[in-house]
Amino acid sequence: MIIRNAIGPGETKNMDTQDLRANFLVESVMQDGKISMTYTHYDRLVIGGAVPADKPLILEADEAIKSTYFLERRELGVMVVSGAGIVVVDGTEYPLATKECLYVGRGSKEVIFKNAGNGTARFFFTSAPAHAAYPTRKMTQQEAEPEHLGSVEKANERTIFKYIHPAGIESCQLVMGFTELKKGSVWNTMPPHTHDRRMEAYFYFDVPAEDRVWHFMGEPSETRHLVISNYQAIISPPWSIHSGAGTTNYSFIWAMAGENQSFADMDFVPLSEVK
């Protein structure tokens, strides 16, 4: 497990591109035949990927979290970003197609990722500390609560699918879903905003190999950017804006943890104040 310390806005102002990438970008989320995990001290969220190539992969407790099993004090959100897979939770199988989600509650002792059929599934997951246990539950894309935002004129027409949130899959503190940009749209998360009550992680996918996304972060008056490619994740601090534009349309998973679960808890920043 890779450990990332919390970085403040004062330190970030003096970072060059290499420093920004080392602290806020998770480059190798999907690794064939492995489970990869990054632990951030921002609300102690874990960002991970599982790619079971020729054998199932077991989610084990890393030494960093000091627990007897991974979900002893945590909850988990899982989404398949390509292929079809199965998550086995304490002996119960949950088949997942692409863009379907599974929530696994605190206290589940065994979590296994495996392929469904002959293809290779890629699982993205996030985990947050939990003080209460909620039932394990699956949700399909059709069952998710869609929210249509943006416009063709602003190049940000998109649909948000909410999975883990108070009106969907109940959880202790984790909030998770994904956003799908329409063809011809490239901007996400407009207008820019912060939410000082919680941090957020972005995982970009459906990005063609030849394309890139410019992810913008930083204080509204001190913005920075990171150029990222497919299957890479961003750690977004509570004090930072989070927005992006790509060379084509794409999708991204968002996951949040912190003070509350209100999706609408955002401090919007007028574009006239962004520098």
- Residue 252 and residue 188 in contact, taking contact as beta carbons nearer than 8 Å: yes
pLDDT value at residue 30: 97
pLDDT value at residue 96: 97
pTM: 0.95
CATH pick for 2-273 out of 1.10.3210.10, 3.30.70.20, 1.10.760.10, 2.60.120.10: 2.60.120.10
pLDDT tens track for 144-164: 979 999 999 999 999 999 999
Residue 247, SS3 per DSSP:
coil
- Residue 10 and residue 240 in contact, taking contact as beta carbons nearer than 8 Å: no
- Residue 41 and residue 23 in contact, taking contact as beta carbons nearer than 8 Å: no
Q: Bridge-partner residues for 217, per DSSP?
A: 224
pLDDT tens track for 185-210: 999 998 888 998 899 999 999 999 99
Q: Examine the pLDDT at 37 and tell me if it is beyond 90.
A: yes
- Residue 61 and residue 67 in contact, taking contact as beta carbons nearer than 8 Å: yes
Q: Examine the pLDDT at 181 and tell me if it is beyond 90.
A: yes
In this prediction, residue 102 has a pLDDT band, given cuts at 50, 70 and 90, of very high
pLDDT value at residue 259: 87
Across all residues in the chain, what is the average pLDDT? Answer: 95
Residues of the chain with pLDDT > 90: what percent?
Answer: 89
Query: For the residues 25-29, what does the mean pLDDT come to?
Result: 96
pLDDT tens track for 119-134: 899 999 999 999 999 9
Residues of the chain with pLDDT > 70: what percent?
Answer: 100
What single-letter DSSP state applies at residue 43?
A: T
Residue ranges covered by each domain of the chain:
2-273
